[in-house]
Chain A
Amino acid sequence: MISVMIAAIGNIGRAAMLGTSSLRGTLAFAVRVFLNFFDRRTYNSASLMVFIHQLYFTSVQILPLFLFVAVIFGFLINGMAFNAVKNMDYLGRLLMGFVVTELSPFITVLLIALRSSSAINTEIAVMKVNREMSTLNSFRIDLIHYLFIPRILNGVFSMVLLTSLFALVVLSTGLLVSSLVFGTSVDTYVDTLLRSTDVLDIVILLIKCATFGFFITLIPIRIGLSASEELTSIPISVLNGMVKVFVAIVTIEVLSSIIRFI
């Protein structure tokens, strides 16, 4: 009985050690990448081209699906909200305090993570398996400058832009629902939203979006790099990467909520 307990405690300890070492590794990698944001050599024609391609894949190709989801959510949330809450002030706080600052970044980060984080993880793992990293090293092309930073910057920009778009679509559907169903004027609706807007919330929202964008691209890159030179390591790497991305999303969400409500 005691030996079973000792083994169980040992396993918990090993899992904790593994977890903290992975977290330390991710944070150290994040710091390295962040410092390279300020390196002039990062910004060259090749990296710019990667950034533009990534932005297209992440923010433009996703638009039809993204807008569809935003409109559906907009009608659902506004329909329910307007039905349940008759007080306009409370409704404004609900839209700005929950829909814009909490729901919009959450849906956006899920969509980007499902689509782009998995793609980035696979891409980096495939490059590792194909030994394409050696190619870049051989031609003295820095991996962080050329491969990582354009993808991470794209994550940050895409998160901020798409979250803003999501919020805009949801608020616009809110205007439509309120004016068609409840006969609220545009002025009243906009005025209600503005009165419910807290600048600090918007600042926290932007920082949260940027943090989401940073980590949902950084983690897949880091995990992709850990792939071995065997093809079978690619799915394992993507699986690990996506789990860690999910953990990161939940962690950032919880931390931002704590910061917002203290």
Chain B
Amino acid sequence: MTFFDSEDALQTSLNAFLEEHREHLGLVSPDIPLISNLPVWSNIALIRQYHENMPWEEAKALAVELLERFGMAKIVEQRSHSLNKEELFCVMLMRAAMVREAVVVLDRPFRILSNLPEGCFLTDAFHKVDDLIAEAHIFDYNWEKGRYGATDCAKD
């Protein structure tokens, strides 16, 4: 986790980090939305289908398996506009985890999960895909520190 005092400082550091890890980057950010005309499974599967030419049946099975880990199998065919904030975040995380040896970056996750008081949800979500990701980084503001340190689960 890296915290910053200002948006400029965060953005500069984040951009440099993204550029450095471009090859394996899995960015989770409201600035990188889901593709609105694709169902949830396709948003997740797209990365493997494009980069590895994975057949769509196999890619869909992988996406469904990931959604089941999060107990979200019912949203498999839904579009992004019908998802709630938690579902949206989890789908974005699953999509990021689809990158091979993913360096997952959460860019100010509470901009998506604005309704959550603390970061326990984030650590739980990370644990569900930790077999797929190589590194995880969080970029946020200093004044959000409390939301990450407020509970024991943040130590994970």
The answer on A and B forming one complex is: yes
Q: Does B22 contact A (CB under 8 A)?
A: yes
Q: How large is the interface on A (under 10, 10 to 19, 20 to 34, 35 or more residues)?
A: 20 to 34
Residues B54 and A132 in contact, CB atoms below 8 Å apart: no
Q: Which residues from chain B contact A136 at a C-beta distance below 8 Å?
A: 35
Once the chains are docked, how many angstroms separate the CA of A136 from the CA of B33?
A: 10
Q: Are A138 and B27 in contact (CB under 8 A)?
A: yes
Interface centre among A44, A127, A145, by most chain B C-beta atoms within 10 angstroms, is A44
In the complex, the answer to whether B36 meets A130 with C-beta atoms within 8 Å is yes
Answer whether residue A232 sits at the interface, using C-beta atoms and an 8 A cutoff: no
Cβ of A141 and Cβ of B31 under 8 Å apart? no
Distance in Å: Cβ of A205 to nearest Cβ of chain B: 33
Q: Are B53 and A44 in contact (CB under 8 A)?
A: yes
- B46–A138 contact, CB under 8 A? no
Given contacts A44-B49, A46-B49, A46-B50, contact A135 B56 (CB under 8 A): no
A218 CB, nearest partner CB in chain B, Å: 20
Cβ–Cβ contact B37 & A134, under 8 A: no
B54 touching A45 by the CB < 8 A rule? yes
Structural contact, B32 and A135, CB atoms closer than 8 A: yes
**Cβ contacts under 8 Å, B22 to chain A:** 140
Say yes or no: is A49 at the interface (Cβ < 8 Å to chain B): yes
- A178 contacts partner chain B, Cβ-Cβ < 8 Å: no
Alpha-carbon distance between A44 and B49 when the two chains are bound, in angstroms? 7
| Interface residue tally for chain B (C-beta within 8 Å) | 26
A residues near B56, Cβ cutoff 8 Å: 45, 49
Q: Would you list which residues of chain A between 35 and 55 have a CB under 8 Å from chain B? A: 44-47, 49
Closest chain-B Cβ to A141's Cβ sits at a distance in Å of: 5
CA distance A131 to B36 in the complex (A): 10
In the bound complex, how far is the Cα of B23 from the Cα of A75, in angstroms?
60
The CA-CA distance from A141 to B36 in the complex, in Å, is 16
**In this assembly, does B25 line the interface, its C-beta being within 8 Å of a C-beta of chain A?**
yes
- What secondary structure prevails in chain A residues at the interface with B? helix
User: Is residue A146 contacting chain B, with contact meaning CB distance below 8 A?
Assistant: yes
Q: Within the assembled complex, what's the spacing in Å between the Cα atoms of A132 and B42?
A: 14
Bound complex: CA of A139 vs CA of B28, how far in Å?
11
B95 CB contacts on chain A under 8 angstroms: 139
When distances are taken between beta carbons in the complex, the residues of chain A under 8 Å from B99 are 139
Q: Is B47 an interface residue (CB 8 A)?
A: yes
Known interface pairs A46-B46, A140-B22; A134-B32 also in contact (CB < 8 Å): yes
Q: Which of B23, B36, B47, B53 contacts A132 (CB 8 A)?
A: B36
A132 and B55 in contact, given A47-B50, A138-B25 (Cβ under 8 angstroms):
no
Does the CB pair A146–B50 fall under 8 Å? yes
Supposing A138-B27, A139-B47 touch, asked if A45 and B59 sit within 8 A by C-beta, the answer is yes
- Give the interface of B toward A (CB within 8 A): 18, 22-23, 25-27, 31-37, 42, 46-47, 49-51, 53-56, 59, 95, 99
Q: A131-B32, A139-B25, A141-B47 are in contact. List 15 more A-B contacts (CB 8 A).
A: A44-B50, A45-B49, A45-B50, A46-B50, A130-B36, A131-B31, A132-B35, A132-B36, A134-B32, A135-B32, A139-B95, A139-B99, A141-B50, A145-B50, A146-B50
> What are 12 A-B pairs at a CB distance below 8 A?
A44-B53, A45-B55, A47-B50, A49-B56, A127-B35, A132-B36, A134-B31, A139-B26, A139-B50, A139-B99, A141-B46, A146-B50
Chain A residues within CB distance 8 Å of chain B: 44-47, 49, 123, 126-127, 130-132, 134-136, 138-141, 145-146
